[in-house]
Structure 1
Amino acid sequence: MRVYCNACGSKGKISGSPRFSGDISKHYCDCLNVECGHRWVATLAYSHTLRKPTTSVDQRLLERLSQLPKDSQVRLIEQLEAMQPGPDHHQVIAPQLSLLHHTA
C-alpha cells in the first residue's frame, strides 16, 4: 500500500501498523522527504466485499481429493483418521469419505 504525505505530497512509508480491531488498523507513517519530516497516523478500514470467494478451502480440498484414484483417497482418509484424537473421530472423517466416494 502506498501512502503520501498530506503536507508535501511526497511518498511516505508505514513504520508500524498495530491492529485496532478486526477490520480497522492504524498505520504510523513517515514522510520520505527529509526536508519535510512529517509523521502521521492513517486509519485503514474494511468497507465491503466486491466479489465473494469462489469456494472455501474445504470445498477446494474435497474437489482435489475427489480427483485422486480410490486407493489414494482411502490411504489419505486412513492417515487423517490416525491423526484424529479420541473416540469421536469417525464423526469427522466418515462424512468426508462418503462425499469422496459419491463425487469420484
Structure 2
Amino acid sequence: MLSFLPSPQPEASDPPSFASINVAALQTIADPWHRSRLAAEQARCLEAQMATLLQIRRDAVGELVNSHRTPLSKVASHLGLTKSRIGQLAKAALRTLDGGDAR
C-alpha cells in the first residue's frame, strides 16, 4: 500500500505536491463519487509531475552524454537503464535543444 508523508499545506491555488498525497486517507473516503474524483485529481497531478521528472532526466542524460562525453555504459549503469535507452534519451535531448519535439 502506498503512503506518503504529508507536506506543509500548499496555497489554495497550488496543485498538490507528490508528497502531499495521503493514499490511506483517500482510501477511507466512504462516498465513491468523492473518492473517485479526488483520486482522478491526484492522478492528473502525478502525471504532470512524472512528465516533468522525465524531462529533467532526459536533459541530464543528454548533458552527461552529449556535453560531458560520459560513456553510455556508465550512465546506464548509474540509472539502471540499458545503453540503448540512454542513447535514445541523449538523442531526444539533442532534438529538444534543436527546437524539435523530443517525444
- TM superposition score category, shorter chain reference: 0.3 to 0.5
Larger relative contact order, structure 1 or 2 (CA cutoff 8 Å, min sep 6)? 2
User: Normalising to structure 1: TM-score of the pair?
Assistant: 0.36
User: Normalising to structure 2: TM-score of the pair?
Assistant: 0.36
Higher strand content, 1 or 2:
1
Mark the structure with the bigger radius of gyration: 1
Higher helix content, 1 or 2:
2
